[in-house]
Amino acid sequence: MKLLDLVSATGALALAFAWAALFAVLVFLASVPTSVATQALLSLLACCLIYVMKPGVTSNMTLRFVVLSIAGTFVLRYWLWRLLETLPSIEDPVSLAAALVLFAAESFTVAIFFLTALINSDPVDPPKPAPVRLEDVPTVDILIPSYNESEELLAVTLAAATRINYPAEKKRVVLCDDGGTDARCNHTDLETRRRARERRASLQALCKELGVEYTTRARNERAKAGNLNAALQHLDGELVLVLDADHVPTRDFLARTVGYMVENPRLFLVQSPHFFTNRDPIERNLGLPETSPSENEMFYAQIHRGLDRFGGAFFCGSAALLRRQALDVVGGIAGETITEDAETALDIHARGWESLYLDHAMVAGLQPETFASFIQQRGRWATGMIQMLMLKNPIFRSGLSLKQRLCYLNSMSFWLFPAIRMIFLLMPLLYLFFGLEIYVVTTQEVLAYILPYLLIGFMVQNALFGSVRWPQISEVYEIAQTPYLLKAVVHTVLRPRDASFKVTAKDETLDHAFLSPVYAPLAALAALLLAGLVAGAFRWAAFPGDRAVVEIVGAWNLYNFLLVAYALRAVFERPDQLDRPRCGISSPAMLRWSQSAPGEDEQAAEVHAEIAAFTPRSVTLHLGNDTRSRHGRVFREGASTGLKVELVPTLPQAPELEAPLPLKVKAVRSDVEGTLIELDVAPAQMIAASRLTAHLVYGDSLRWHFFRKVYPQGSTLIAGLAYVAGKSLMSVPKSVIGFLTEPARRRREATEDAMRGEPAFVVAPMDRPARAPLEAAAVAGAADYLVIEE
């Protein structure tokens, strides 16, 4: 084996040297100045080759490397051309300064291109680990940190955690409550004190009911990291599973992950994807179709697999299994920055530990419901990552391999996008408003260099990420966040230690359309770019000699404006009804009248039902067309409201949950497809309902697999570009109307007395029944092995 390793290492070294020599030649060739015709021909050929090979990039490694190599050569040539040929003269220092800023931004994107190409060149999926005997499985502490989440939300997560398939004696579920710390319970503010004490008491009761350990600490120090570390002080499990409060685990979580830890003792982390049952506010407000992959899928389905290839998979804060020994080596969860997760991984990686990423979602959580919350969450991520870049720069961190440095650098530097994006957005305005020469280039060169460069960038992005990200959607997401995150990024670069952890609200409710209170920066940006278009039109008319330049820069600004106009839709909050709800289920049950009518035997007063949705506070049943019991009792719209019933789910794999659940009819609706009954869960039954929710809705990871890998559709480049162009164009009148009608809407709202509210945990009503649940569960196998039953 060692000989084989030696041969491999020698071969790799030789190949690497050969590649480096070849690369030097390519750099020289890429720097050669040629005629525009030659460049145009090169561009055409490169674009054609990439376009032809693009469909095979994901599945065929050779094609992937060839495409990336051709694209890389072209991008390198573009960058060298920009550097050597297109910068204005030093005699015009103002223009030169602006041009250098733009060039720096472009250089950054070029560097990111190469990093992205490298990291996504060979994404891996780890093979399944060897089965582990039950008696050999390590002990696991399941930590669920909480700060201000609702009891219902926590109940489901805790119930699901307790139901994770794992030997009971080897598993401990711990709620780490930072909302009920001693400091908060003794807070000088009476209201804060009261709420903290109530929260501590209710959660303690909840935990007791669910068999979960409740922990809290004296003071709220170092946010989530401090919370987890405080809990860890009292725990001794060999492994630690960290779950965010809204991240409900499936039962197979440990069965799918612990084996890797047992197999490789140097492994400190098994990270799994975060799956969300609701759509993020940008995705929702932009009106992206449900088949459009979620925003985080690009990271979890593609990039993290690439990071894992280079040993750079890192801790994402939740849905991750950690080795306690490794945590102890670095003093627990790191807390110097507000992204404790990646920071902890960086520290442990620097000690030589290894990590692994498993692309199988085993938690389901909640995205922030509003655009403002989303921005707050991303602001925290951006701040934390920039903190790490400034305080714990991986390039200078000892103990990391070169590949790991690049992985971390890629992940951290991504969050500089607000600055980069803002430069790209504003730079054309410097010319349109002030006439600054930011680019010394002819129309022919634009066609031969710049457009192919952009096109190749689009094609490579589409080739690598086409199945997880539609074209231009990344740009729209970044633009939507840019005006908000820019300040945080700049502030953090200037004062990296001056940042605070803000918990993202996850249990907001959105039941009506409204204009986000944080609309102003994005709207101002759109207005600025619109003014740029007007200035461009003026400049075109006023300066005939500059028309070629105005057309080029104006087209750039128009492109920017269209993207910003589309991104601006994000501030128009609107409730969402998914055609295919991610929490929708279809599980058999019996619905029983609690009080039998005279002459009926007790067993007879029931009907067959199908559970369509289940939450700790409400249940939705579908009765089909036959809603009549054997004795002729039926549920009628209006007449049955307030009726007390009992639900008995049919759960052959979880008979312990088949106990009748008392409910009250809230509403009955009938149509040609049958009868839909909405039922309220009594507060006293919330925990039981939570257990059922955890099992019925969140128990099966294959459900999330379906929504991640089967349901979404990729997009071709042309279709994607056309889609965004159409949406962008339509966004302009929509947004204008939205802004014009907003004052009237606010007046109407002010006159409404009742506040509508539904916990976010309750997903949209089930207009259509979901497909039958996938049959899968992780169980403790009869052969005394920890196995996954699919």
Partner 1 sequence: MKHWILPLLAAALLPAFAHAVRAQQILLHDMPELPAQDASAAPAERLAQSAVPRMDWTAAAPMAEEHADGLPVLLPLRPVVPQGAETEGYRVQGQVGEARFVLFLPRKAEGAELELTTLSSINLLPEQSKIRVEVNGTTIGTVIPDNFDALGTDALAIPGSALKPGRNVVTLRFQQVHRVFCGPDAAFDLWTDVLLSQSGIKVAPSDFGADAPGFLAAVAAQLGRGQPLVVAESRGSGDVASMAAAMARVESLFEGLPPEMRITDPYAVATVPPALARVTLLPEEFSPPDLPQFRRGGDGALVLVANAAHPEQVAGVMLSAFGDRHPANPVPLLQPGVPRSLADLGAGRLVGQGNYIRETVRFQLPWDWLVLSAQRAELRLDYGFDRDLPKGALLLVKINDATVHLLPLDEDDKAGQRVETLRIPFAANMLDPGVNQLTFEALVPGDAPDEACAPRSTPIFEIFDTTTVEIPTAPSMSVARLDMVLDALSPESVRLSEAAADALPLGLLPRLASVFVGHGAKAPGAASLTIGVPSDLSTLGGAILGDATSTLQEAMLIAPHPEEKELDAWAKVDNGRWWRAFYDTDKVGTALRAFRDRLAAIWRGPQSELDVWLDGRAADAMLLQPDLDRPGDIWLILRPNLAPEKLVASLIDGGGRLDVPRGQVSLFTPDAGWQSWHSSKRRLKLHEPLTLDNARRVVGNYASLAPPLFIVPMLALSLVSAILAMGVMIITRRRKK
Q: Which strand (E) or helix (H) includes residue 522?
A: helix 520-542
Which residues on adjacent β-strands are paired with residue 137? none
Which residues on adjacent β-strands are paired with residue 239? 140, 323
The catalytic position among 178, 244, 308, 347 is: 178
Residue among 618, 544, 561, 630 nearest 593 (CA):
630
Task: Tell me whether residue 48 or residue 659 sits nearer to partner 1 (CB atom).
Answer: 48
Q: CA-CA distance, 93 to 89, in Å (whole number)? A: 8
Asked if residue 619 lies in contact with residue 679, where contact means CB atoms within 8 angstroms, the answer is yes
Which residues on adjacent β-strands are paired with residue 679? 619, 665
Task: Tell me whether residue 75 or residue 564 sits nearer to partner 1 (CB atom).
Answer: 75
Task: Tell me whether residue 127 or residue 632 sits nearer to partner 1 (CB atom).
Answer: 127
Q: How far is the CB of 35 from partner 1 (least distance, A)?
A: 4
Q: CA-CA distance, 553 to 533, in Å (whole number)? A: 10
Three-state helix/strand/coil letters over 15-67: HHHHHHHHHHHHHHHHHCCCCHHHHHHHHHHHHHHHHHHHHHCCCCHHHHHHH
- Measured at the CA of 697, the angle between CA 692 and CA 699, to 5 degrees, comes to 85
Site residues (CB under 8 A) for partner 1? 8, 11-12, 15-16, 18-19, 22-23, 25-26, 28-39, 41-42, 44-46, 49, 61-62, 65-66, 68-70, 72-73, 85, 89, 91-92, 121-122, 124, 127, 263-264, 309, 311, 440, 442, 445, 543-545, 547, 551
Phi and psi, residue 535, nearest 5°: -60, -40
Q: Tokens 């030789």 appear where?
A: 14
Q: CA-CA distance, 298 to 304, in Å (whole number)? A: 9
Task: Tell me whether residue 12 or residue 729 sits nearer to partner 1 (CB atom).
Answer: 12
Task: Tell me whether residue 89 or residue 577 sits nearer to partner 1 (CB atom).
Answer: 89
**Any catalytic annotation for residue 700?**
no
Q: CA-CA distance, 370 to 416, in Å (whole number)? A: 23
Task: Tell me whether residue 389 or residue 448 sits nearer to partner 1 (CB atom).
Answer: 448
Q: CA-CA distance, 618 to 759, in Å (whole number)? A: 11
Task: Tell me whether residue 4 or residue 684 sits nearer to partner 1 (CB atom).
Answer: 4
Q: How far is the CB of 12 from partner 1 (least distance, A)?
A: 4
Burial class (CB in 10 A: 0-12, 13-18, 19+), 684: exposed
Q: How far is the CB of 540 from partner 1 (least distance, A)?
A: 11
CA-based radius of gyration for the chain: 29
Q: How far is the CB of 705 from partner 1 (least distance, A)?
A: 23
Q: How far is the CB of 673 from partner 1 (least distance, A)?
A: 50
Q: How far is the CB of 767 from partner 1 (least distance, A)?
A: 44
Which residues on adjacent β-strands are paired with residue 214? 175
Asked if residue 184 lies in contact with residue 203, where contact means CB atoms within 8 angstroms, the answer is no
Tokens of 539: 């400049």
Task: Tell me whether residue 12 or residue 52 sits nearer to partner 1 (CB atom).
Answer: 12
| 621 three-state secondary structure | strand
| 608 three-state secondary structure | strand
Q: How far is the CB of 44 from partner 1 (least distance, A)?
A: 7
Q: How far is the CB of 321 from partner 1 (least distance, A)?
A: 17
Asked if residue 590 lies in contact with residue 607, where contact means CB atoms within 8 angstroms, the answer is yes
Asked if residue 415 lies in contact with residue 381, where contact means CB atoms within 8 angstroms, the answer is yes
**Any catalytic annotation for residue 178?**
yes
Q: How far is the CB of 39 from partner 1 (least distance, A)?
A: 8
Asked if residue 620 lies in contact with residue 679, where contact means CB atoms within 8 angstroms, the answer is yes
The catalytic position among 177, 341, 347, 359 is: 341
Task: Tell me whether residue 72 or residue 584 sits nearer to partner 1 (CB atom).
Answer: 72
Q: CA-CA distance, 355 to 264, in Å (whole number)? A: 10
- Measured at the CA of 470, the angle between CA 556 and CA 698, to 5 degrees, comes to 145
Q: How far is the CB of 76 from partner 1 (least distance, A)?
A: 10
| 674 three-state secondary structure | strand
Continuous H helices in 120-252 = 151-162, 182-185, 190-210, 223-232
Q: CA-CA distance, 89 to 534, in Å (whole number)? A: 28
Asked if residue 158 lies in contact with residue 196, where contact means CB atoms within 8 angstroms, the answer is no
Residue 245's CB: how many other CB atoms inside 10 A? 27
Q: How far is the CB of 126 from partner 1 (least distance, A)?
A: 8
Q: CA-CA distance, 743 to 752, in Å (whole number)? A: 15
Task: Tell me whether residue 83 or residue 736 sits nearer to partner 1 (CB atom).
Answer: 83
Q: How far is the CB of 544 from partner 1 (least distance, A)?
A: 5
Task: Tell me whether residue 537 or residue 736 sits nearer to partner 1 (CB atom).
Answer: 537
Strand 514-515 with 606-614, pairing: unpaired
From residue 768, alpha-carbon distances to 545, 639, 697 in Å are: 61, 24, 16
Q: Which strand (E) or helix (H) includes residue 690?
A: helix 686-696
Q: CA-CA distance, 151 to 149, in Å (whole number)? A: 7
Asked if residue 195 lies in contact with residue 282, where contact means CB atoms within 8 angstroms, the answer is no
Tokens of 252: 């197979």
Task: Tell me whether residue 57 or residue 529 sits nearer to partner 1 (CB atom).
Answer: 57
Q: Half-sphere exposure (CA, 13 Å, Cβ side) for 388? A: 30
Q: How far is the CB of 305 from partner 1 (least distance, A)?
A: 12
Write the CB contacts of 278 (distance below 8 Å, at least 6 apart in sequence). 366, 367, 369, 576, 582, 760, 763
Catalytic machinery residues: 178, 341
